[in-house]
Amino acid sequence: MTAPDLTTCFWCGEPCDGKCLGLTESTQMKASDPAYWMLSNGHTSTPTVFDRNCYICRDPEYAQMGVSLCRPCPACTKKQGTNAGHIPADDVECSVCGYEDGPGDYE
């Protein structure tokens, strides 16, 4: 397996070192990380919502690895239209309206 091309950002396509989304040296994945192979396996996830205050939304490596991403809130979407609200990938409660979309908190 070859290492992915990390000379350009997955999101903006520029050599920004993740700065376009606020990544820092401490938050960007290193080649020594056991999950690093997921960056180059070709499977990506497509974001449907974005919250600038959410660490999952701001980190392009979640999508690049193909893991579950944050999702729209059914209650907000019903009121406002397509893909409204924000339910974090690691939670069940909408960060916009408080609607709970599941049996309990994953944290």
Whether residue 87 has pLDDT greater than 90: yes
Are 7 and 38 within one domain?
yes
Pair (24, 57) in one structural domain: yes
Is residue 11 domain-shared with residue 28, that is, in the same domain?
yes
d(CA 107, CA 96): 18
Number of domains in the chain: 2
Based on the domain organization, do 60 and 23 belong to the same domain?
yes
| pLDDT tens string 9-62 | 656 677 766 566 666 666 666 667 777 777 766 777 888 898 989 988 888 778
> Distance (Å, rounded) from C-alpha 78 to C-alpha 24?
37
9 and 44 share one domain: yes
Is a pLDDT exceeding 90 seen at residue 67?
A: no
54 with 11, same domain: the answer is yes
Whether residue 91 sits in one domain with residue 57: no
* 85 lies in the same domain as 59: no
Using CA atoms, how far apart are residues 42 and 99, in angstroms rounded to an integer? 34
**Residue 107 lies in domain:** 71-107
Beta-bridge mates of residue 87: 71
102 and 75 in a common domain: yes
| Per-residue pLDDT band at 105 (split at 50, 70, 90) | very low
Query: What's the whole-model pTM score?
Result: 0.62
